[in-house]
Structure 1
Amino acid sequence: MELTTVWFALIAVLWVGYFCLEGFDFGVGMLLPVLARDDTERRVMINTVGPVWDGNEVWVLVAGGATFAAFPEWYATLFSGFYLPLLLILVALIVRGLSFEYRHKREETEWKGRWDLALIIGSFVPSLLWGVAFANIVAGVPIDADKEFTGSLFTLLNPFGLLGGLVTLTLFATHGAMFVALKTDGEIRRRARDLAVRIGGVAAVLAVVFLVWTQLKTGTALTAVVFAAAAASLVAGLVSARAGREGWAFVGTFVTIALAVVGLFLGLFPDVMPSNTDPAYSLTTANAAATTYTLKVMTWVAVIFTPIVLGYQAWTYWVFRKRISVRHIPTAVLAGSSDTAS
């Protein structure tokens, strides 16, 4: 197998990891005003992702870095053409990170409310725009002979792209509700489980429409099988949630997101950024790749460090594996303490 194909697959794996892990972080943030009834319950929800959100976010940094190093032409065209959406995502992620760090610094209700709003918006914007971006990448965008994007922001806001955004938005919300149900106890657990089923029904309808549309655009026999498995996994997850089996429900949405991303990358290959101006202008794993020497060096680095990173992240999840509830939240927060440490 050529190294270009290997690195295309590795980048796909990185995006799978990012959407599956950061997806429930986004879902928890978006559902903060829906599931939590008071400040204590909001702190419970924040604490479910507090120890892991920054580690989950690393996946997108590695995916971006790997794209820059392995496929510099892809990186250049993508980040120049999608500059405004990616900038909005970056700002949202920064604001979201600040909300985790600054919410607990003062006890005033207004202060916490503002940072809660920052967390909600910082979760909502990437959830929507990542779907818009990936839908457009798979469907193809206007690229000229110089490998430059010739469209605008409004080019990306087409029906297929917007549907992709709604799919990721609802899937992440469902995934986040499943995670809250898995990680909490008491009344908030019940509310999260019920909400996951309701939002999941909407996500299932949108996802089926989007995946069928994608299949008609770029699909193969293999992508059809993968997309069908993704739909079946989502249904199984919702059935498990209704039965009160939160662990299997979370696995269901996790596998759904993973298979959906895999299917999109399978439909994309061997292109990395198709051109709908002229297929001859499309960026592929061959014409967008770095030198063979660069790919070899990157491969050795990945072989050495990837197991270390995965092991550390797995250990983090193991340490913070237990459920939390309102009884674990102290009634008073000491000055300088953190929500995520309480």
Structure 2
Amino acid sequence: MWLRELWLVLVGILFTGYFILEGFDYGVGMLHPFINHTDGEKRASLSAIGPTWSANEVWLVAAGGALFAAFPDWYATMFSGFYLALILILLGLIVRGVGIEYRSQDKNLKWRTTWDWLIFAGSFLTTVLWAVAFANIVRGVPITAHKIDVGGFGSLINGFSLWAALTFVLVFLVQGGAYLAIKGDSRSRKQGRRVAGKAAWPAALALAIWFVWMDRLPSSAGHVDALAVILQVLAVLAVVAGWLSGYFTKHAGSFVLSSLSIASTTFSLFRILFPRVMVSSLNPRWSLTIYNASSTTYTLQIMSVTALIILPIILGYQTWLYWTFRKPVKDEEMGY
């Protein structure tokens, strides 16, 4: 039985890694048209994420693969009920990726400006829709006794999910600003510090309100324990501490604390859900859990052995990648 709990933790870790690493990519993408004015400034901010953005998406692929193999009913219900939202997420990822790679292929100003705004749109759309998806997983969607989500895209749009979207945007802006503060060129670092400082307090407030709202949801009744509350408080305090760290020019500390906030937020969601993985708004007994949505024990055993082989390779490669590109961007190294 412990294999189901183990794989839920692993899925949580994979989504946490994805939100931390892609969080600063999305943040930089959303900031891109606004904090940069000259073409050189725009190239500098994109060069800060250029070597790593595509590798960061490996975490999403791994999370999706883990869902498919370990919790096939969760995967099937979510990907059918959230079909349009997930297609739009995929579209946002494609547009952003193409924008980053193709922007520099032509020196025409209109060409580059168009891609600048598409990079923003892809980053913003993806951030908003991930927030909407996870908010509704916690809030509840109309899942029947046959594990079918009978709701549509419109049912995902509600006050709670829209506030989640605002919260995710603010938190990722802090993450993106904090990353630029340590990785960008001299001007990008200055702009990153400014954005991270200005967005930190609104992000902390938005997180606090969202957590209180979440804890008062009918779907959360009886599932908000001390650990969940501790994680929520830690997430808010980490944003504030990150602001203080940036104020005292400890910019690496700001990024670490911003990442801690994202990790605490993600794990608080999984903690409140546990042992559920998707809540049914029609009948709590129809909710998907790690017990009624998982693969067989034998499948989980095979996957566990496979994960022991693959995960160290992924972690080793990403560690090498970030170590190789650890230095701030220099003018002569800009390629985007």
Aligned amino acid, residue 69 of structure 1:
A
* Residue 275 of structure 1: aligned partner: 280
Between the aligned partners of 1:113 and 1:194, the Cα distance in structure 2 is 23
Gaps of 5+ in 2: none
Q: CA RMSD in A?
A: 1.2
Aligned amino acid, residue 212 of structure 2:
V
* Residue 332 of structure 2: aligned partner: 328
Structure 2 length-normalised TM? 0.96
Which one is further off, 240-249 or 75-84?
Answer: 240-249
CA-to-aligned-CA distance 1:103-150 (integer Å, 9 cap, x gap)? 111111111111111111110001111111101101111111111112
* Residue 321 of structure 2: aligned partner: 316
Between the aligned partners of 1:311 and 1:156, the Cα distance in structure 2 is 38
Between the aligned partners of 1:295 and 1:29, the Cα distance in structure 2 is 37
* Residue 252 of structure 1: aligned partner: 257
Q: CA offset at residue 188 of structure 1?
A: 2.7
Aligned amino acid, residue 4 of structure 2:
T
Q: CA offset at residue 186 of structure 1?
A: 2.2
Contact 1:32 1:120 in 2 (8 A): yes
Task: Specify the SS of the correspondent of 2:277.
Answer: strand
* Residue 302 of structure 1: aligned partner: 307
Between the aligned partners of 2:239 and 2:332, the Cα distance in structure 1 is 32
Aligned amino acid, residue 59 of structure 1:
W
Q: CA offset at residue 35 of structure 1?
A: 1.5
Aligned amino acid, residue 305 of structure 2:
W
Aligned amino acid, residue 52 of structure 2:
V
* Residue 67 of structure 1: aligned partner: 67
Contact 1:215 1:223 in 2 (8 A): no
* Residue 298 of structure 2: aligned partner: 293
Contact 2:204 2:237 in 1 (8 A): no
2:31 is the alignment partner of 1:38:
no
Between the aligned partners of 1:254 and 1:95, the Cα distance in structure 2 is 25
Task: Specify the SS of the correspondent of 1:31.
Answer: helix
Task: Specify the SS of the correspondent of 2:163.
Answer: helix
Q: CA offset at residue 185 of structure 1?
A: 3.8
Matches within 5 A, 1:9-48: 9-48=9-48
Aligned amino acid, residue 136 of structure 1:
N
Contact 1:194 1:242 in 2 (8 A): no
CA-to-aligned-CA distance 1:305-327 (integer Å, 9 cap, x gap)? 101110110110001001124x3
Aligned amino acid, residue 273 of structure 1:
M
Matches within 5 A, 1:36-185: 36-185=36-185
Structure 1 length-normalised TM? 0.94
Contact 1:23 1:176 in 2 (8 A): yes
Between the aligned partners of 1:157 and 1:164, the Cα distance in structure 2 is 11
Contact 1:28 1:45 in 2 (8 A): yes
* Residue 225 of structure 2: aligned partner: 220
Q: CA offset at residue 164 of structure 1?
A: 0.9
Identity of aligned residues (%): 44
Q: CA offset at residue 261 of structure 1?
A: 0.2
1:229 to 219, 227, 234: 234
CA-to-aligned-CA distance 1:36-76 (integer Å, 9 cap, x gap)? 12110100000000010011011111101110111110011
Aligned amino acid, residue 84 of structure 1:
L
Which one is further off, 282-291 or 178-187?
Answer: 178-187
Between the aligned partners of 1:3 and 1:293, the Cα distance in structure 2 is 10
Contact 2:170 2:203 in 1 (8 A): yes
Task: Specify the SS of the correspondent of 1:276.
Answer: coil
Q: CA offset at residue 195 of structure 1?
A: 1.4
Aligned amino acid, residue 127 of structure 1:
T
Task: Specify the SS of the correspondent of 2:216.
Answer: helix
Task: Specify the SS of the correspondent of 2:144.
Answer: coil
Contact 1:128 1:166 in 2 (8 A): yes
* Residue 270 of structure 2: aligned partner: 265
Gaps of 5+ in 1: 331-337
